[in-house]
Amino acid sequence: MAPPTATQTATPAEDDIEQTVRKLAKLKPISHGFGGENASTNTGPQLEYLKILPEPARKRFEKYGIDLSKGYPVIPLPDEIPKFADEAFAIRNKDFPYVEKGKKADPEKKALLGAAKEVRHLTKHIGTEIVGLQLSELNDKQKNELALLVAERVVVFFRDQDLSPQAQLALGEYWGQVERHPQAPHVPLPEREDADEIAKGSGISVIWRKFFNEYYGLSKGFKKKQAAAGWHTDLVHEHQPAGLTHLHNDTIPKTGGDTAWASGYAAYDKLSPALQQFVDGKTAIYRSAHQYIDRANPLKGPKYIEREHPIVRTHPATGWKSLFVNRAMTVRIVGLEPDESNLILEYLYSVYEKNLDIQVRFKWQPTKEGFGTSAIWDNRISQHYAIPDYDVDEDDRHGTRVTALAEIPYFDPSSKSQREALGLSLN
C-alpha cells in the first residue's frame, strides 16, 4: 500500500485550516494599523489622490523630476505586501552592518556649527534649530557632526530648506540602511537594483493626513483624533530599529500641525536610582504598527510583528542610557506578571508624557514661502507626537519621511545616564 499523503493523514480541522490559509493568501492585505473601518484596498499608484495633492508638494516633485503621471502616492501592490505575520517578520530579520556616523564626528562639531548662521537650543534638554544651512549641501564631515548633534539633542530642525526627495533619501542612506516599508504609501522613484525582495518601495514614505484619512477611512472628527496620533517611537519592531528619521514637510498649515518630541535620556534621568536599577538590563516585547494574519491560527484575527529589545538602551555615539519604551508599541516587560508589567510600563510612559521640561513642541512654519522645513530625530532616544489640530480640508499638511535603521539595540551596564556623564546634579 502506498504511504499516506499529507492530506490523507490530516485531520478534518487541519484540512480546514490549510484551505483557509490558502484562501487568505489570495486576499488583499489586512489594512493599516490605523484600523479604519472603510479602508480602501486599491493599491499601486493612486490617480484619484493625485488630484488633491497640495500645490507646494506638487511643485517640489515637479521641480525634482518625480514622475507623478501614474498617480500619487504609491501603495505596494497586493502581491508585494506580506499577508502573513511570518512573512512580515522575515523582512530584514537578519543582522546587517551599521556604522554609527556620530562616532566619527568631531565632538565640538566645528564644521557644522561653524558654518551655521545661528544655532538655537529650543529648550534646555531637547531640540536645537540650525539656521543658515541647506541640508542638501552638507559634506560628509558635517553629516557626521549632525548625527552626533541629533544623538545629543534628540531632535534638530532646519527651516527654509530647498530639498529634493532624492537628496533626502541620499542623506538617510549616508546614515544607515533606509527602511522600505512593505505596506506604507511612498514617493514613486525608479526601482533600485538592490531593492529588497519583500519590502519594495523607494524608501521615501508619505506623511499626508488628508490622504490617510480618506484612504484608510479614518474619522476626521475632533473627538477621535487622538487615536491616530499619540506618543510613539517609529519602527521599534524591527530587528535593527530606526535610528535617524528625517521628516521634511513641504506643505505646512498656517496654524497647527505641530509635532512634539520627548527625550529618552531625560526620561531615564527622571527615575530614582532604585527604579533605574530595576529597569537596567530588562527587556520588553515591541510590536509593529501594521497587522498580518497568523498562519497557525488564521481565524484568530490580525496579529502584530513582535520583537524583544532592552528597555534601557545605550546610544552608541553618546554612550548615554535612554528609556526605550512607548505607549503605542511596547507590549510587556519580559519576566514580569502582566499586571506588574502594565503598572510599571504605565508609570514609565507617564514620565515621558507628563514632564513638559523634557519635551519640545515645534512649529513647522517656514519663514520663506516655497521652502520646506525638516526635522531630524533619533528614535533610539525619543518619542514623538503629531498634533492633529488642523483641518485637512482647509489647510493641508504634507511631508516626506526617510528613516535610517540603526544597530541591534543593546544595554551596556557600564554606560552612564546623560546627567551622570555631563556631571549634572542627579537630584
Q: Does 129 bind Fe ion (CB under 5 A)?
A: no
Q: Which cell is 115 given?
A: 558654518
Nearer to Fe ion, 232 or 307 (CB): 232
Piece of 38-46, 98-106, 114-122, 231-239 that binds Fe ion (CB under 5 A): 231-239
Nearer to Fe ion, 145 or 234 (CB): 234
Piece of 42-50, 86-94, 230-238, 304-312 that binds Fe ion (CB under 5 A): 230-238
Nearer to Fe ion, 234 or 396 (CB): 234
- Polymer length of the chain: 427
Piece of 103-111, 113-121, 233-241, 387-395 that binds Fe ion (CB under 5 A): 233-241
- Other CB atoms within 10 A of residue 280 CB: 16
The sheet that has 205-208: what strands, in order across it? 118-121, 128-131, 155-161, 372-378, 242-251, 398-405, 205-208
Nearest Cα residue to 110 out of 153, 146, 134: 146
Longest dimension (CA), the chain: 86
Nearer to Fe ion, 289 or 348 (CB): 289
Nearer to Fe ion, 234 or 353 (CB): 234
Nearer to Fe ion, 179 or 250 (CB): 179
Shortest spacing between CB 299 and Fe ion, in angstroms: 31
Q: Determine the Cα–Cα distance for residues 133 and 115; give it in Å rounded to an integer.
A: 7
Nearer to Fe ion, 149 or 184 (CB): 184
Piece of 227-235, 264-272, 318-326, 397-405 that binds Fe ion (CB under 5 A): 227-235
Q: What mask, x for binding Fe ion by CB under 5 A, covers residues 178 to 217? A: ----------------------------------------
Beta bridge partners of 386: 259
The size of the interface with Fe ion (CB under 5 A), counted in residues, is 1
Shortest spacing between CB 328 and Fe ion, in angstroms: 9
CA 373 to each of CA 92, 134, 258, 399: distance values in angstroms, whole numbers, following the listed order:
30, 11, 12, 9
Piece of 155-163, 228-236, 253-261, 413-421 that binds Fe ion (CB under 5 A): 228-236
Phi, psi of 93 (to 5 degrees): -85, 50
Q: Determine the Cα–Cα distance for residues 397 and 365; give it in Å rounded to an integer.
A: 11
Beta strand spans in 188-282 (E): 205-208, 242-251, 259-263
Shortest spacing between CB 289 and Fe ion, in angstroms: 9
CA 320 to each of CA 117, 242, 273, 317: distance values in angstroms, whole numbers, following the listed order:
29, 17, 15, 8
Shortest spacing between CB 200 and Fe ion, in angstroms: 21
Shortest spacing between CB 399 and Fe ion, in angstroms: 11
Nearer to Fe ion, 245 or 415 (CB): 245
Q: Which cell is 8 given?
A: 490523507
Shortest spacing between CB 364 and Fe ion, in angstroms: 15
Shortest spacing between CB 159 and Fe ion, in angstroms: 20
Question: Rounded to the nearest 10 degrees, what angle do helices 165-175 and 140-153 cross at?
Answer: 70
Shortest spacing between CB 155 and Fe ion, in angstroms: 12
Which position among 214, 234, 378, 407 is part of the footprint of Fe ion (CB under 5 A)?
234
Q: Which residue's Cβ has the minimum distance to Fe ion?
A: 234
Nearest Cα residue to 48 out of 76, 72, 18, 19: 72
Phi, psi of 376 (to 5 degrees): -125, 120
Nearer to Fe ion, 100 or 234 (CB): 234
Q: Which residues bind Fe ion (CB under 5 A)?
A: 234
